[in-house]
Amino acid sequence: VRTRRVAFGCLAACSAVVGLTAARPAAALPGPSTAGPETSAVDLLDRAREAAETQTFEGTVAVEWRDGGQRHSAEVAVRSAGGVLRFGDEVVGAGSKRMIHSADGWLSLWGHDVATLGPPPTAKYRLAVQPGPDIAARPTDVVAVQLVGANRLRERLYVDRDSGLLLRRELLDMSGTPYRSVAFTALTAGPGPAGTATAATVSAPPVAHSQEPTPAHHLKAPYKLHSRIGTGYRLVGAYKANGVVQQFFSDGLHGLSVFEQPGHLRGAETTLAGASGAGRAVEIAGHTMRAYSASVGEAVVWESDGVVYTAVTDGPWSDLAGAVRDLPHADPPGRLRRVAQTVVSLFRWK
Amino acid sequence: MPQGPGGGHPDDVLSAYLDDELAPAARHEVEAHLAGCAGCRAELDDVAAARRAIRVLPVHPAPRPLVGAGPLDGAWWPGGAPAPGSGPGGRRRRFVWALAAAAAAVIALLLPRDPEVAPSLPSLADSHAATASVTGDPLTQLAPIAVPVRFGP
């Protein structure tokens, strides 16, 4: 906890500095701004992160995403009290712990603090704060996100003026239309009858199984640590769990994970959404790969030199494609070559 | 008349003629040719001399790895003796070697050196969201993995 607080402290200190720089691009964007000079975009985002972990509230969140030409949507109830954030009966976040409900009970996915939160978002993005529309009947400030040097809006983040909670987050396509979003449709926040009831009912469940990864500071071949990939994604940490290596990158707003497993690609078991399917074929850096879209984000699966890569991001597809270009992507060997490798390996001195 | 590739001379059947393996009609044809061809008579004398010289050489068994190793195995053994490995035991060894080679080929085909991997995308997506929710906003990072999967119409 102390490590995380130190990280937050550093981030807050950095935010105070970068907040001054973030206020300047805000003036360059169209639309009025009622946010004071002390309320920078980075401050708002940092406050939203802490509010989600500390505020008492309950409500309903709608998740919408697009998979090819098909739109999908789903809702989930959210409750938070006493530092425990609960999404329906499926997902729980408590401090640095993350749990998901599985067929065998509650599965722990994460259980330790991180030493770094990634780079400041202002290294890659221009952030501007504007008054936003009411979300779930609550007034908001909206953080408009553009790439540095670009004119098109990539994302909007709507922050509750009262509670500081992030009420809506939407990624925009080329025409400015949201293609993936998470938004409160109803919210009761703060102490009160509803809040008291929430505090009494929200608690962290007992964990039946653990899949928590352990930090991997040094990786042996065939793994290779990448300090940065794609457009502004920097390595936050490398982890290992059940024979799978995960390198997690951040650009300050989005995360991007690269999972590596030794072997040959047989095909993904399921789509990101959990239904049977084989995704869609995409061409990246001259190589054909399988891509998937779902509520979580985008994913690409491919094989290179005896390692199966799965890259997942909650950011835009273009970020994922850019990151994949910086990773190994040799053509998988043909069957004849694999047979030859196998025969040769039988006579190889170990 | 039996003729070889040499242009009408029965070079390729002279050995069979010496071994008395030709049919009577072929044998008569060879003898008729030899009567009128000095070159073939000289060739026949050379072949006969070479045979005599070889037959007086001592017999040495071949090194073991050569037994059953080639198409000449047993066919050209000096003195006409059956070569080691050309009997029932040799055939058995050849069969075992062939069986082992076939088994190796099958194993090579069926057993790739590295395992086949089918990434579980939902599980990896959950792991990503859990990691991202620790470094980013937990509300918007965790909600997508909590929603029940419902596809639109």
Residues of chain B found within 8 Å of residue A267, distances taken between Cβ atoms = 118
In sequence order, the 6+-apart residues with CB closer than 8 A to the CB of A181 are A62, A63, A64, A65, A168, A169, A170, A171
Q: pTM surpassing 0.80?
A: no
Record: contact A70-B151, CB cut-off 8 A:
yes
Quote the CA–CA distance of A146 and A156 in Å, as a whole number: 9
| pLDDT of B86 | 59
Using CB atoms, pick whichever of B138, B146, B152 lies closest to residue A52: B138
Residues of chain B found within 8 Å of residue A166, distances taken between Cβ atoms = 137, 139-140
* SS3 category, A187: strand
Quote the CA–CA distance of A264 and B122 in Å, as a whole number: 19
Record: contact A342-B141, CB cut-off 8 A:
no
Tell me the nearest-neighbour CA distance from B133 into chain A, angstroms.
Answer: 9
Instruction: Find, in chain A, the residue whose alpha carbon is nearest to that of B148.
Output: A74
Residue B98 reports pLDDT greater than 80: yes
Tell me the pLDDT tens digit for each residue of A292-324.
888 899 999 999 988 999 999 999 999 999 999
| pLDDT of A28 | 36
Strand partners, A158: A142, A168
Q: Using a CB–CB cutoff of 8 Å, tell me whether B144 touches chain A.
A: yes
Q: Which residues 92-131 on chain B approach chain A with CB closer than 8 angstroms?
A: 104, 108-109, 111-122, 124-131
| B11 φ/ψ angles, rounded to the nearest 5 degrees | -60, -40
The 3-state DSSP composition of chain B as helix, strand, coil percent (nearest 5) reads 60, 0, 40
Using CB atoms, pick whichever of B108, B136, B142 lies closest to residue A255: B136
B15: nearest Cα among B30, B32, B35: B30
Indicate the pLDDT class of residue A32, thresholds 50, 70 and 90: very low
Tell me the nearest-neighbour CA distance from B138 into chain A, angstroms.
Answer: 7
The mean pLDDT value for A157-170 works out to 96
Record: contact B141-A255, CB cut-off 8 A:
yes
Q: Using a CB–CB cutoff of 8 Å, tell me whether B35 touches chain A.
A: no
Indicate the pLDDT class of residue A9, thresholds 50, 70 and 90: very low
Percentage of chain A exceeding pLDDT 90: 54
A284: nearest Cα among A325, A232, A233, A229: A325
| pLDDT of A338 | 63
Lowest mean pLDDT of A126-140, B43-57, B95-109, name the range. Answer: B43-57
Using CB atoms, pick whichever of A70, A98, A338 lies closest to residue B133: A98
Using CB atoms, pick whichever of A100, A213, A268 lies closest to residue B145: A100
| pLDDT of A193 | 52
Model-level ipTM above the cut of 0.95: no
| pLDDT of A278 | 66
Record: contact A72-B152, CB cut-off 8 A:
yes
Return the higher-pLDDT residue of A272 and A291: A291
Residue B92 reports pLDDT greater than 90: no
* SS3 category, A318: helix
Q: What angle do CA B57, B62, B63 make, to 5 degrees?
A: 140
Lowest mean pLDDT of A116-125, A285-294, A335-344, B77-86, name the range. Answer: B77-86
